[in-house]
Structure 1
Amino acid sequence: MKHFRPQSRPKKSLLVVGRKAVTEALKEGKPLERIYLQNNLGGKELSELVKLAEQNNVPVNKVPEAKLNAFNVTSHEGCVALLSKIQYQDLQEIISFVVERGEVPLFLLLDGITDIRNIGGIARTAFCTGVNAIIIPDKGVGMLNEDAILTSAGALEKLPVCRVNSLLKAIDELHLNGIKVLASEMTAAENVFDIDFKEPLAIIMGSEEKGIYPALLKASDEKFKIPMVNDFESLNVSVATGMILYEAMKQRQFTRAKSEQ
């Protein structure tokens, strides 16, 4: 049986309370981590709010009133949003920025990783190994809240994060920009050490429980595994990501050092 660490209640300074206030925040382009809507409400005003949220790639969770009351705010009108401490970036803008800077792109896609400790650990390693950006979906991933930032030792505030409404569409965009997409999959035939990490790449990492979504695996260009001496169910996703990224950094740094000699 799994034991989940309870997350701390967000500070009131990070809350946007009420339908009108949340709608205005969306119109003004304020970075929102997530919107909570009472699940038995409807109407034109809420339809506009949900549409704006979709346009801004802000996740909307339908929740019971008790969840909203737990934020300990009054007059929430069935709607509370969390301000994000992270300014999410546009994927195409980041790709263009990296290419214009003369760098070889290296991106990381996170599929279904919900444990914020794993996300924080991944972000720390990604920043240290030269990853250009982390790409996450707007749903099915752990919230990048204060706890996640703390776990990342601040790396999530330094490393660009792109939040997209579809990882499949993100893969299409990466392909259009000449970036190959690799998938870490424990049943793959090829080993991580045989992969050429010196070319423009994006790497998909899936959750330890479910792995990578089948459609994403199908859309990837190549699959690889981390070999193990002893058979085991899986590696911790943060540890596995570290192994892969350090192999990528080793290849890239070694090639650069040789070319400069």
Structure 2
Amino acid sequence: MRFVSQKTARPSFAKPSLVIGRKPLLEALEAGKGMDRIFMQKGVSGEGIDEIRKLAATLQVPINTVPVEKLNGFTRANHQGVVAIAALITYMDLQAVIDQTVEKGVAPLLVMLDGVTDVRNIGAIARSALCCGAQALIIPDKGVGALNEEAMKSSAGALEKIHVCRVSSLLKAVDTLHLNGIQVYTSEMNAPSRVFELDWTIPACMIMGNEETGVQPFLRKAADARFTIPMAGTFDSFNVSVAAGIILYEALKSRLYAH
């Protein structure tokens, strides 16, 4: 194993660029350019607005309705009621990622993020996921930290290499996973099973929840199994990115010893 010095230079990432105004945004969306988020002025209407909404829905780009002061804070230019943040990564379709993985003869290993808002945690999880052989992160279009420059740096480049699937509904994503024969696991403090007692050699997806509230109840209910990470002592819990790393390495170890 090769250890990298902390002084080693990390990849540099360009800051996300803004797309300002209706026509530039429409042209970008029609060209299929990735957008992290669109900020639209509350009550805005007129030329191009309906088309932007339709294209954003098709491309699963979230729209935040905001007061004009928010847009003015982004730029002094004539924004015409819309400003978008161009994505630093290319989002992938979940089914397409599953199909590609299965075609390679590999059992899918996926990570779903539910309410993880700290971008440094997201970056660290992406890094562990890539190192442990996971093919993709699944994130919702709302309620998750932005994949911005800080997230990219925290991932040490992993977010550029691992697939990221942005979905409009995590519950629908779970349905897609089940339709493809992928087991869904959730981590909880008082779960009946321990992480190393589950079968990680089969197609699987782990759901990592918010550190304060955990995985949402409707996702816990939809999961196939719940597990806990044993700890020494009575301290609260692991940081979510540390917990994800432990789980992912357990999956990697299971798969290595299965061959």
Normalising by structure 1, we get a TM-score of 0.90
| Residue 27 (str. 1) matches residue 8 (str. 2) | no
> Would you say 1:154 and 2:169 are equivalent positions?
no
C-alpha distance in structure 2 between counterparts of 1:11 and 1:124, whole Å: 19
Note the alpha carbon deviations across 1:161-197, whole angstroms, 9 max, x for none: 0111111111111111111111111121111111111
Q: Which residue does the alignment assign to 1:40?
A: 43
Secondary structure at the aligned position of 1:126 is classed as helix
Are positions 1:247 and 2:226 aligned together?
no
Per-residue Cα deviation, 1:13-56 (whole angstroms, up to 9, x for no partner)? 71110022212222221100111111232346323322221111
- Residue in structure 2 matching 1:195, options 182, 194, 198: 198
SS at match of 1:182: strand
Q: How many residues in Structure 1 have an aligned counterpart in Structure 2?
A: 247
- More moved, 42-51 vs 86-95: 42-51
What residue is the counterpart of 1:164 in the other structure?
A: 167
State the partner residue of 1:61: 64
Identical counterparts, % of pairs: 54
SS in 1 for 2:258: helix
Structure 2 distance, partners of 1:136, 1:16, is 23
Residue identity opposite 1:115 in structure 2: D
1:49-128 residue pairs with structure 2 within 5 A? 49-128=52-131
Q: 2:179 aligns with which of 156, 176, 189?
A: 176
- Distance, in Å, in 1 between the alignment partners of 2:245 and 2:158 is 14
1: CA distance, partners of 2:57 / 2:75: 27
Once residues 230 and 20 of structure 1 are traced to their aligned partners in structure 2, the CA distance between those partners, rounded to angstroms, is 59
Structure 1 residues 176 and 71: alpha-carbon distance in aligned structure 2, compared to 1, 3 A threshold: same
Give the 3-state SS of the residue equivalent to 2:205 in structure 1.
strand
Aligned partner of 2:141 in structure 1 is 138
CA distance in 2, matches of 1:140, 1:21: 27
Residue 232 (structure 1) shift: 2.9
Tell me the amino acid that sits aligned with residue 155 of structure 1: A
| Cα distance, 1:92–1:86 mapped onto 2, change above 3 Å | same
Tell me how far apart the structure 2 counterparts of residues 129 and 12 of structure 1 sit (CA, whole Å).
28
The CA distance in 2 between the partners of 1:248 and 1:76, in whole Å, is: 48
Distance 1:44 1:210 in 2: 42
Separation in structure 2 between the aligned mates of residue 99 and residue 12 of structure 1, nearest angstrom:
35
Q: CA RMSD in A?
A: 1.6
Q: In the aligned structure 1, how far is the partner of 2:44 from the partner of 2:182?
A: 43
Give the SS at the match of 2:28. helix
Aligned to 1:219: 222
TM normalised by structure 2 equals 0.91
What do residues 229-259 of structure 1 show as CA deviations (whole Å, max 9, x unaligned)? Answer: 2223332100000010011111111112xxx
Rounded Cα–Cα distance in structure 2 between residues aligned with 1:85 and 1:68: 20
Question: How far apart, CA to CA, are the structure 1 residues paired with 2:234 and 2:23?
Answer: 55
Give the 3-state SS of the residue equivalent to 2:165 in structure 1: strand
